[in-house]
Structure 1
Amino acid sequence: MKEKEFAELIPQLPEELALECLTRLHYSAHRVSSLVCRRWCELIRSRDFYYHRKQTGFTRKVACLVQAIPVHDSDSKPVAQPRYGISVFDPVTLCWDWVEPVPKYPDGLPLFCQVASTEGKLIVMGGWNPASWDPVKDVFVYDFTTRKWVQCADMTSTRSFFAMAAVEGKVLIAGGHDESKNALNSAWLFDIKKNEWIELTRMSEERDECEGIIIGSEFWVVSGYDTESQGAFKKSAEVYDLSTGEWRRVKDAWRASQCPRSCVGVMGGKSGNLMCWAESDSGVRVGACGFDLGDRTLVTGSAYQGAPHGFFLVDTKEGQNGKLGKIDVPVDFSGLVQSGCCVEI
């Protein structure tokens, strides 16, 4: 028997009340719930339902980390390069989990791939093939509702160590370097729904090993260096206004002397207050990464080269002056964190 076209969400309940019941489902139940009936499936997977949940406060912010996968076999030979997967950390329950591997890369993600999130989805882009170390143009989107990966339109060209951020169903990338190690000033926008790339106006400067963040309606490309000055990180940033489509240069935006990748923080949510998590505490001076999760920030790093990798939570309101509270992490999730992002599911 075919399902009625306008079947009730929940029999004998008003539509508004039924919607509120489904809105309160934990995101981990979405996959099973979407199998109940066609209407539930269409609702739960819809963009409008996501924004309704967000507006009413029923989304949850988790950290998705590009993290080294531990090897438990003590008899196995050490590998030159660890395999990386995507772990998920829930700061409310302090629980950890692994995202299903990308089908094209079942044995580990592309090295140094970039990640970002928008509308509850996780985007993985670029990096180096873990077998050949050749740069790749792959783009994948993970849907937490279906728990499946979808391969999207390739990047227009290969680039490494570029800035990347996402907002309202769109992903922005800028800078990085090409296959000849030339720093880039080009920028592109990827529309997830349309599955297409749009070229943006170029930045005024080349920026390799820069970091991308969204602040309000602006895409910030922080620091980086040009082809002739490798390793000499700029103090400036370039900012793309999503409403006008124009860039502006901000002097002295990055006061740290080191690479900004994965360690840029924003104090008080203000664009003029960028900070470096590597300088926030002596326990995370090496390999520091910081991920804003709303009321708290997850910070990872080591005290010195070769020291154990630590995981900490800090009150976001206190910013760089907040004390890092160390958290215990299961051994399966204690590996090095290369990068990551916050996903509001």
Structure 2
Amino acid sequence: MEISDFRLKVIAHTDLIPGLPDDVVLNCILPRLAWTSFPSLLRVSKSWNAAFASRRIGDIRRMNPSFQERLLAVIHKTTSRPLDEHPDEISSCPWIMDTPLDEHPEEIYSCPWIMDINLAVSIYDPILCVWEELPPIPYIPYGAPMFTRCICVDGKLFVLGGCNSENWEPVQDVYRMDLATGLRKWEKCAGMNTARANFACTCYEGKIFVAGGYGRDGLVSSTAELYDVQKEEWLPLPDLNIPRSDCLGAVLNKQIHVIGGYTSLVYDLRDQDEPDSLSSNCVSSMEILDKQCKGWISTTTSTVAPLQAFAVSSGQLCPLTDGAMHKFNDDLTSGKPAMEGMLISHFSLEEDDDETYLALAAVSLQQEIYAIIRDTISCFGSGFSFCKGKKDKTCAQGTVVTWQPIECPFEIVELALSCCSVSV
């Protein structure tokens, strides 16, 4: 709820800064202060508290791009849970199955029921290179859902869907934190019409679009819906043409795209003997929501390998796969193989680094690409890094991107591979 200027004066009883007109302070001084300082600024005086809590400062920043800060939100693991707290869950883990426990020392630590499942959301300031961990969501036992998605609209950070950490059931819950107020407080919003986890999620013109994922029945879903942030209501969309889990969402040419994914749950495929089971269940196409939101248009554009991450940079879709970053053809519906485009760069975090990396989540921010990557030689559930790719130079093979690791005060895990850009 916003507070009027009149009510602001009634609450405050004092000028924002004695000797200066409030209009000058509100429009020229307070909006320039760093987002990380908002909580402490609330304690300066009643008038400052009212100005920030009313979202007045946030609205001024949003209307003036020069005041806005471009940040990143990342979901990650937080405090540990000792292994001896899970004696009963070890035997129930499907990835260990029925063989003796001592024959699977690596798999014990790769099983998500035995991994630490306390999760959190942190905000990263790429200018100051500092992280701030947000408070845990009070309605969730372990801080944040597993296999959830995060996205930011108009300075509000949303955490959507995912799985309950206690029973592993997908949920339809949605939580929101208004980053523009400085209060660092989570609120529960209207839930999605369908419970889902590992789904496509993107936003456009004040609306959040979700599609696919898997539901409480354990089946991959084709349902889709949108959330009107202003009206705070969910509206159904036509079903996708192909059920997809672990799919990705993007806005290209002012249209909603759902890209890639799998027709079966990825972790169920671990039991299959065929080495190409993941690839055979990969959905190597994308679907575009028509502008009237009446249906999805399937394209014949395909990927060479399962597409697990991409970034939209300069209006172009840049897949990150096979340890490298590519560009799609300009005409996404041409029917030509997607990877005929220009190779941009191989992941290499150090000059002598010859390891292969797989990108699992990525986002573009001010001409730079931030990605959660994993080296392919580590055991399942480990080897994750957060890195930044910056366009360095152009050569005959294309644009060279220099990748560098970002130091994180936390560990990234398979249970929470989600990041998004934040404008406050």
Instruction: Give the shorter-chain TM-score range.
Output: 0.7 to 0.9
Note the 1:61-80 alignment, pairs <5 A. 61-69=70-78, 71=80, 80=114
Equivalent in the alignment of 1:308: 383
On the 8 A contact 1:278/1:288 being kept in 2, the answer is no
Equivalent in the alignment of 1:214: 251
CA distance in 2, matches of 1:88, 1:266: 20
Cα offset for 1:131? 1.1
On the 8 A contact 2:154/2:423 being kept in 1, the answer is yes
On the 8 A contact 2:392/2:400 being kept in 1, the answer is no
- Relative to the length of structure 1, the TM-score reads 0.82
In 2 relative to 1, CA 208–303 (structure 1 residues): closer, same or farther, beyond 3 Å? closer
On the 8 A contact 2:261/2:306 being kept in 1, the answer is no
Note the 1:191-210 alignment, pairs <5 A. 191-210=228-247
* Aligned: 1:49 with 2:60: yes
In 2 relative to 1, CA 165–42 (structure 1 residues): closer, same or farther, beyond 3 Å? same
1:60-105 Cα deviation digits (max 9, x unpaired): 2222111122539799887713222112222112112211100012
Moved more, 66-75 or 92-101: 66-75
* Aligned: 1:17 with 2:45: no
Read off the aligned partner of 1:44 and give its amino acid letter.
R
Read off the aligned partner of 1:157 and give its amino acid letter.
T
Cα offset for 1:10? 5.1
Match of 2:29, SS state, is: helix
Cα offset for 1:276? 1.8
Out of 269, 274, 281, which is 1:232 matched to?
Answer: 281
CA distance in 1, matches of 2:217, 2:85: 36
Equivalent in the alignment of 1:343: 422
CA distance in 2, matches of 1:64, 1:220: 22
CA distance in 2, matches of 1:234, 1:74: 36
Identity %: 23
* Aligned: 1:288 with 2:360: yes
1:27-83 Cα deviation digits (max 9, x unpaired): 12334445632761465357742422xx33222222211112253979988771322
On the 8 A contact 2:200/2:246 being kept in 1, the answer is yes
1:232-276 Cα deviation digits (max 9, x unpaired): 2222211225x533545353545241142xx11224322xx3312
Read off the aligned partner of 2:283 and give its amino acid letter.
K
Give the RMSD, CA atoms, in angstroms.
3.4
Cα offset for 1:149? 0.2
Structure 1 stretches of 5 or more lacking a match?
none
In 2 relative to 1, CA 310–182 (structure 1 residues): closer, same or farther, beyond 3 Å? closer
On the 8 A contact 2:193/2:234 being kept in 1, the answer is yes
In 2 relative to 1, CA 214–178 (structure 1 residues): closer, same or farther, beyond 3 Å? same
* Aligned: 1:182 with 2:228: no
In 2 relative to 1, CA 215–137 (structure 1 residues): closer, same or farther, beyond 3 Å? same
CA distance in 1, matches of 2:208, 2:304: 26
Cα offset for 1:191? 1.9
CA distance in 2, matches of 1:91, 1:48: 22
Aligned residue-pair number: 335
CA distance in 1, matches of 2:399, 2:300: 18
Structure 2 stretches of 5 or more lacking a match?
1-6, 87-108, 266-276, 325-345, 348-354
In 2 relative to 1, CA 47–20 (structure 1 residues): closer, same or farther, beyond 3 Å? closer
* Aligned: 1:258 with 2:306: yes
CA distance in 2, matches of 1:72, 1:25: 38
Note the 1:113-132 alignment, pairs <5 A. 113-132=148-167
In 2 relative to 1, CA 12–168 (structure 1 residues): closer, same or farther, beyond 3 Å? farther
Larger Rg: 2
Out of 114, 136, 153, which is 1:101 matched to?
Answer: 136
Cα offset for 1:320? 7.5
On the 8 A contact 1:126/1:139 being kept in 2, the answer is yes
Match of 1:338, SS state, is: coil
* Aligned: 1:40 with 2:47: no
CA distance in 1, matches of 2:114, 2:263: 30
* Aligned: 1:170 with 2:207: yes
